[in-house]
Structure 1
Amino acid sequence: MRNFRRARHGGTSRIRLRSWAIAALVACTFVTGGGVATASRLADAVPAADVLADPGVSHAVPVSQLAPQIGAVFNGGLNGAHHCTASVVNSPGGDLIVTAAHCLGSTSDVFVPGYHDGNAPYGVWRLRRIVVDAQWSAGSDQDHDVAFAVVEPLNGRTVQSVVGGYALGIDQGTDSPVTITGYPQATQTPITCTNRISAYSGTQLRIYCTGFTGGTSGSPWVVGSGMVIGVIGGYQQGGYTADISYSVAFGASVKSLYERAVSV
């Protein structure tokens, strides 16, 4: 079946692993728990029937309520094609975004936080470096469909200093409701939805929220007001229908990927 969120493949170069000596420095920028340590913990957390029997209904986000940390990803510039969504995550350098690996084809893509109606209220941010897992680079492994990108400063400031950022949640399980916000290609403002999540497999999560069509890959899964525990992607690059979305469960591999991203 057609993947509603399919973006470009290829073009993302494998980044050489560098020293992890600064791991202690960045520890405060993500939150770890015990939620995705094993497949059985995931499978037992929330019955799959719960999420499928209680759909979350999406609605447009009023411009006055846009989260500045979330934005649209465009090819080449604001006049290019919008194809994905990303969000800022806290980092020592204040320059990091997270999205799905299948979203980022090259550093010619740009990130536009708070985008609406053709406007870029916080600027257009160019990518300096893309970091994906080696297993994604080698074979587009759906269990590694997560990417971080370092963005260039704009007017002497980092993106996090301008719009803020989310904490990165590692091993958080499926105990809390999740809000996803993303930019469909057919709209000029994002949509949002809150619902419970469940385990699709030992490495994948899913959520039932209506209307997350093409352009919403990479949309952050936010717990409470400030922690990202997933992004739309993974199975079928986020799902083969617009109403059920998937994410890689953020665990040890995503933590390692984050440490690579902030290691330069």
Structure 2
Amino acid sequence: MKRILLPAGGAILATGLLAAGLAGTAQAAPDWAHDTMAKGAPEAKNVIEFWTASNYAALKNATPYSWDVKATPSLKVGGGYSPDGKPGSVVPIGEEKKSASVVKNINLPKTIGKVFFVDQDGKPRWCSGSSIQGKYRNLVATAGHCVYDEGKNAEVASNWIFVPGYYQGKTPWGIYVGKTAYTHYDFAAFEDRDRDYAFVTVYNGVQIGGQGTVKEVSKAEYEKYEGLKDVKAVEITKEQYDKCVLNLGDCFSEGADAPADKVGPDYPGAVLEREEVNEKAYTDAKVGKGNGNKLGEPEVEHVTKTQYDAYKGLGTKKIVDGNYTITHYYVQKWVKPATAKKYFKNVYVIAEGFIKDVGRLGDNVGGQGFAWNQKTGQKVFVFGYPADAHPDGHKAYTGITPKWCYGTTTGKTYTHAATKVEEHVGLKCAMTPGADGSPWLIKYSNAKRLGYVNGVTSLFGDQDKNDRYDLSTSAYFDGETAAIYNQAANVWSGSFVK
């Protein structure tokens, strides 16, 4: 895809609220990368079809964007930060007129959600992101590596969408298809994670459902139809398959009959399973990757007295201060899964009247403010969807619901030569990959669920070398970040549903 490079000193469309926020800010003149994602209604509809086909199978099967745990960066501490101008900010949606609020509880913002895309290997992936203030209330902030494929000259990712409040296939406020993506040229061209951020304009959200009809059609009718359609692989019996083949029908088989087999961890396709053992076997087990080696820390289960008395398993039962607990111990078991040959028939269906426009992103969930050239050492909330395991294999998060970290950003920079990081902001945080792109919010109001995006999660680090992530980092948001944000924040997208 052809990338458009625009000089920030050229034609920033700074109008109204955004212009006021940027006024008086001394800025350099970086180049930004501007990429079209879904160009027009036909492409946007294809993106929706990809994610919603087969009862949202791609959404449900997506995995968090990650890197090999062996490559967990060893982040080094550097000097302080270097703002390139005066601090500035743009207020959140709904806060254009200030009002008093009382902070009590930690309330999750409606603006956060999951960013879904297809990576360079054709696999559905997801990161975290947030709706953010923009002139047309259509803007999403996330990490640059959640928009541009790394290792492939940073081409813009395909089938990119944002789903605020996503939960197990549910899209409570709609699906928002990416229209245009903006990032720093240094990230787009050189994968420089000192510029690991992106701002994406999205079309109006859509929901699938309503007063539509779904009907089965022939393959020829399916190929001619230009609306929402799907090919469903319906499982059939061996007898039905044989009859289908005999009549030259559209059917196929997958897999082969094979029993489960215990293998080594390096065997292609090996799957890690938990095997519970007693306390002595766990204590005697080795640390590392392999059959019979320890898998994570012992897990303490709080039970009732009835459950405690009835338990006959391998765990250790204890009563502490009147509380009944059972501690479970697990080791690794690497297996080649059993397989069974299955038979399918392709069924072609079309859907008419099923895509409904639900309006602009910012009107539906609001949008966080934006801030740059801020001092470090501020209190910050980070909201995201961690999911991957820690380097030691322990999986503390599921990625199903959003989690949060809170703390004070570091006054020193973090550096990492392999990813060209020379000036990252750090925060003590135990989130794992899946939280990539999570917004870092300063001046967050729990009552209003609004704050100012002053960073997005880029890297995860293990500073105490115990194979557990304990640090998140973000690019420092400066005047160049503000210039790129301002370019994206003034671009209209509109609806692709007639």
Pairwise TM-score range, normalised by the shorter structure: 0.7 to 0.9
Distance 1:21 1:254, change over 3 A: closer
Amino acid at match of 2:477: F
Matched with 1:60 is none
Q: Assess if the C-alpha contact under 8 Å between 1:181 and 1:192 holds in 2.
A: yes
1:15 aligns with 2:4: yes
Q: Please report how far the alpha carbon of residue 70 of structure 1 lies from its aligned counterpart in structure 2 after TM superposition.
A: 0.6
Q: Distance in 1 between matches of 2:126 and 2:170?
A: 16
Q: In the alignment, what sits opposite 1:229?
A: 454
1:69 aligns with 2:111: yes
Counterparts in 2 of 1:1-264, with a 5 A limit? 14-17=3-6, 20-25=11-16, 26-28=18-20, 42=81, 65-75=107-117, 81-105=124-148, 106-154=157-205, 155=357, 157-185=359-387, 186-198=398-410, 199-201=412-414, 203-210=423-430, 212-225=431-444, 226-233=451-458, 238-241=459-462, 242-264=469-491
- Greater RCO, CA 8 A, separation 6+: 1
Runs of 4+ in structure 1 deviating by more than 6 angstroms, as ranges, are 30-34
Distance 1:195 1:180 in 2: 9
Residues 31/208 of structure 1: CA separation in 2 closer, same or farther (3 Å cut): farther
How many residues align structurally? Answer: 221
Helix, strand or coil for the counterpart of 2:5?
coil
Bigger strand fraction: 2
Aligned partner letter, 2:140: I
The 1:149–1:29 alpha-carbon spacing in structure 2 relative to 1, beyond 3 Å, is farther
Is the CA contact 1:74–1:109 (under 8 Å) kept in the aligned structure 2? yes
Change (3 A) 1:75 1:175: same
Structure 1 residues 95-104 or 169-178, which shifts more?
A: 169-178
Q: What percentage of residue pairs aligned between the two structures are identical?
A: 28
Could you tell me how far 1:31 is from its partner in structure 2?
Answer: 9.9
Q: Residues 177, 191 of structure 1: CA spacing in aligned structure 2 closer, same or farther, 3 A cutoff?
A: same
In structure 1, runs of 5+ residues without a counterpart are 1-10, 44-63
Q: Which amino acid aligns with 1:195?
A: G
Distance of aligned partners of 1:204 and 1:33 in 2 relative to their CA distance in 1, 3 Å threshold: farther
Q: CA, structure 1 residues 183+162, in 2 after alignment: closer, same or farther (shift >3 Å)? A: same
Moved more, 171-180 or 114-123: 114-123
CA distance in 2, matches of 1:31, 1:146: 22
The structure with the larger Rg is 2
Q: 1:66 to 1:15 in 2, by over 3 A?
A: farther
Amino acid at match of 2:437: G
* Offset of residue 28 of structure 1: 4.5
Question: CA 1:248–1:73 in 2, change beyond 3 Å: closer, same or farther?
Answer: same
Shift of 1:108: 1.1
Kindly provide the CA deviation profile for residues 166-218 of structure 1, in whole angstroms up to 9, marking residues without a partner as x.
Answer: 111111112421000111233200110110111325732000011x1121110
Q: 8 Å contact 1:112–1:122 — kept in the other structure?
A: yes
Report the equivalent of 1:49.
none
Q: Deviations over 1:4-59 (max 9, x none)?
A: xxxxxxx8x6333275342243234679999xxxx97638xxxxxxxxxxxxxxxx
* Contact 2:12–2:487 under 8 Å retained in 1: no
SS of equivalent residue, structure 2 residue 386: coil
TM-score, normalised to structure 1's length?
A: 0.75
Deviations 1:75-94 (A, max 9, x none): 36xxx844210111101011
Task: Provide the rounded CA distance (Å) in 2 between the counterparts of 1:260 and 1:224.
Answer: 24
Whether the aligned pair in 1 keeps the contact of 2:114 and 2:166 (CA below 8 Å) is yes
Do the aligned residues in 1 keep the contact of 2:80 with 2:413 (CA within 8 Å)? Answer: no
Cα RMSD, aligned residues only: 2.8
